[in-house]
Amino acid sequence: MDVKGGTLLGAPRGPCIPEGIRYSLIEELAHEADFAFEEREITETELREANEMRS
């Protein structure tokens, strides 16, 4: 997951997403916090530039 420009990004659902990752809950919490939620491929560059990855 990554937040970019007020949008919470999540990788597409599939076999690479560990069980226990509850997208419906994540989407609900994002909505409650006034974040948009977008499910799509996230590039390595986007992950490296993510605020959450900076120290």
| pLDDT at residue number 2 | 58
How many C-beta atoms surround the C-beta of residue 40 within 10 A? Answer: 10
Structure tokens at 34: 């006034």
| pLDDT at residue number 12 | 84
Start-end of H helices in 1-55: 23-32, 44-49
pTM above 0.85, yes or no: no
Radius of gyration of the chain (CA): 11
How many C-beta atoms surround the C-beta of residue 6 within 10 A? Answer: 8
Q: Give pLDDT tens digits for 1-55.
A: 556 677 888 888 888 777 776 888 888 888 898 888 888 998 889 888 876 655 5
